[in-house]
Every structure is written in C-alpha cells, then in structure tokens.
Chain A
Amino acid sequence: QKEVEQDPGPLSVPEGAIVSLNCTYSNSAFQYFMWYRQYSRKGPELLMYTYSSGNKEDGRFTAQVDKSSKYISLFIRDSQPSDSATYLCAMSGNAGNMLTFGGGTRLMVKP
C-alpha cells in the first residue's frame, strides 16, 4: 500500500461545477500538506499548502486537512477550462523537506 493514495481519474466536469479532489495517507508524521497543479509537459506548480489540520482558502480554491481521518481535499469553485490539469497532493513531516506525492488526479473541465 502506498503512503499517499489519490484517485487517478480522469475526472470530467462541466464548466462552473464544484470540483472535489482528495488524498488519503497512512503516515501520521505528515504535518505539511500541499497541492500542486501540473499542466501537460510542464513542471508541478504549487497551488496551496497548509500546516496540520484546518482549512485554507485562496480565491476559487479551498484546501482542507483532516488529520484524524488522514484525509485531505482540494475544492475548486466555479471551475474553468483552464483548470484542466493533473492535480498532485504532496505531504511532508516536520523533519527535513522531503515530499511524498500522490499519483495525481487528471481533471478535465469541459466548456
């Protein structure tokens, strides 16, 4: 079993829909939780990061962390075709800066 599990998708939604992307993990030492967006033939781009449990909002994006359930989510409101990409969750502990990535979820937002 992988340390971080992420549904690979693809997830196809109409423009304007609310998108929910999720990851589960097994390592209780993870303290930092990140979401990266990766367009085709580009590097991962950091979207948001949070420390420990709670919510964080940035424009149309909201990240949630539930450490008791070992479950993190990224919500995208009013999704746009430009949001079509692969979304990667990543996590790390307090010691050092090594990231463990999920496998990525491919999202397609149709106009």
Chain B
Amino acid sequence: DAGVIQSPRHEVTEMGQEVTLRCKPISGHNSLFWYRQTMMRGLELLIYFNNNVPIDDSGMPEDRFSAKMPNASFSTLKIQPSEPRDSAVYFCASSRVEGWQPQHFGDGTRLSIL
C-alpha cells in the first residue's frame, strides 16, 4: 500500500515568494496532520483535519500560513509571503479518525527560504 505522499521533497526559494506544499494521505484515512520539524523546536503540530474539516489550527504560527483540504485525498500548506525563519522540514501525517488510531508520516518537504 502506498504511504503518505508529499511533494515536493525539496524546495528552495527566495524570501517573499509563495510556497505551496502538497500531501496525499493514505487511502481510507480521514484525519490529516501538518507538522513542522526544526532542530530548535522539534516536531510541532501546525493544523489537523478530520473528514476534510480543519479541527485545530492553533499551531499555525502566523497568518502567512494557510492550509486547505479540498477533498479526502489532497491537502496543501501554503506560506505567503515566505521568510527565512520558515526554513524547516514540513511533514504530513494521516490516520483513521475512528477512536484512537496511530499516525503515519510522509517523508517530508525540506524547505529552505533564502
């Protein structure tokens, strides 16, 4: 079975540019999570969706960050405008929503803002 698929794997762009990260969850999973990982702060939850509806976005650092899930098989995380401090690895994870289910992670997008 295919796991969580993220694209692009690497992104290098200049400050001020718009960045869009993409995620395809595991088929049949109806919870989706966006995380950011840095050396200083570790893994932080940014936002999560249940059945395509945003449930908790308290981890989104600023209004420059936005996330959407237009359907069960696709989500985007957008940063506009990007800043150097946004440089990090961004992970997407998915799980089933019934009861408690473990999360399965993609391999992340390594983002560098120059």
Chain A residues close to B by CB (< 8 Å): 32, 34, 36, 41-46, 49, 51, 88, 92, 94, 96-99, 101-104
The proximity string for B residues 44-61 relative to A, scoring 1 for CB distances below 8 Å and 0 otherwise, is 010010000001100000
Chain B residues close to A by CB (< 8 Å): 4, 31, 33, 42-43, 45, 48, 55-56, 91, 93, 95, 97, 100-108, 110
A32 — which chain B residues lie within 8 A by C-beta? 100
Q: Please, how many angstroms separate the alpha-carbon atoms of A88 and B93 in the complex?
A: 15
**Is A97's CB under 8 angstroms from B43's CB?**
no
Residue among B33, B55, B103, B110 with max Cβ neighbours from chain A (10 Å): B103
Please tell me which one of the listed residues B43, B48, B102 contacts residue A98 in the complex, with CB atoms under 8 A apart. Answer: B48
**Is A97's CB under 8 angstroms from B106's CB?**
no
